[in-house]
Structure 1
Amino acid sequence: MYKSIKLLTGCLLLVISGTSLLAAHSPNIPMLFFEHGVLFDMGVCSNIESKPISAAMIDELDSLFPKIAIAWEQDGESLLTATTQLFNIPFSRKELSVNFILCDTRFTGMSYPLLIKIRNFLKSGNDKPLSGSYLNMVIYHELLHRYIYKDIPDRLDTSKLLIKYESESNAVKAHLHLLAIQKYVYHELNRDNEFEENIKTMLDNSLSPAYQRAWDIVNEEGHMAFINELLDLNT
């Protein structure tokens, strides 16, 4: 428990006291606080005996918090800012805590509650750790779920594209407009190569076929079809 408190404290001090972080932060996007979701790992994780959480993982996560915060400030915040500029709608939440979990869950990220499985990004947890660039995309991905659900006016029930694909699973439909937004934003920021690498990583590491199916549909329709529909719905 002491180590968990140390993790949280170190991260909060970095974000709150770092004047450069605060100076660059946009008022239209939430300030993120990165912490170890220790209660999930210790109290909820169902496979902790077969997939133990080592002290080395906790120590490595502890050492990575400053790098994660700086990388998000440099390369992640611009993704959220570009999203709010696209729709001219700010995030309603001004602060959010991102809980990194070491439990070997089937999911990489979850938007409600906001959880990210950090295990696969650690050298102590994965022979081939996933990249920091991909971690930023996963964080952005989960925040987009919250933004679409909470902050973009809820008129997707009349979406012609969702009606067209109404027979698809909820997981597929939930990712159609989201993946289109991600592709659009990365392109607008001249980060196409980064996006393509990260999408490949996402599809290669996903245990659900829904992501591949959603990505195929976005490419078949063209991502701008989903973007233009959202813009029309919000005029």
Structure 2
Amino acid sequence: MSNFARYSRQIVLREIGVNGQQLLQDSTALVIGVGGLGSVAALYLAGAGIGRLILADRDRVDLTNLQRQILYRQNDLGRSKTEAAREQLAALNPQVEVELRDDTNWSEAIAQADVVLDCSDNFPTRFAVNAACVAARKPLVSGAAIRFEGQLAVFDLRRGGPCYACLYPDAGEAQETCEEAGVLGPVVGTIGSLQALAALKLLLGLGDDAAHLMTWDALSMRWRRLKISADTQCVVCGKK
């Protein structure tokens, strides 16, 4: 493994060590959505030495993004988010291979990943990504944030348990957006950081965060951790 000094602060952790760092270097993470959640998650994954990052997003950088999407700069306005993100991630850690995708062929992208981070901002994408992760038996780290509220959940059908559709059945409900309801930047950043943490723990085999929903109220600084049960009638992962 090259460049020991770069990762020395995490290699010294007995739970990681040289072998764990090599494991991260040999891993691929797929980040779907490089906005408020994904830009923070991608920065921490690149900093930690993930060998390969796949970034999926079709949007361009808008002025309203800069309040919370800290991967971008004023001079990135109008640029493809993934192109701008790759440039910033390479500046942070040129050892990380960054691949860009602008399609929605989730099955193909997920097949290449060891862990998937859903940092998207809409239910259709979340449901499609979840279904592809269930089919490929790939672990999924799902995050969301709006107003002063955030949530995080890890789904890993390799260990049994629920999928995203067990928690949120696709009933076609309307979804609030940050444009309508607002969101404070550090709330998004907190959840994005925790998505990166959960992904690293999955890759390193540390702990077991799966099958729990963690919600955060930033105004009161209170966390809740709720157990999620598998739905045997789930149309995605349930026993037919």
Q: Same fold (TM over 0.5)?
A: no
Q: Which one has a bigger Cα radius of gyration?
A: 1
**TM-score normalized by the length of structure 2:** 0.28
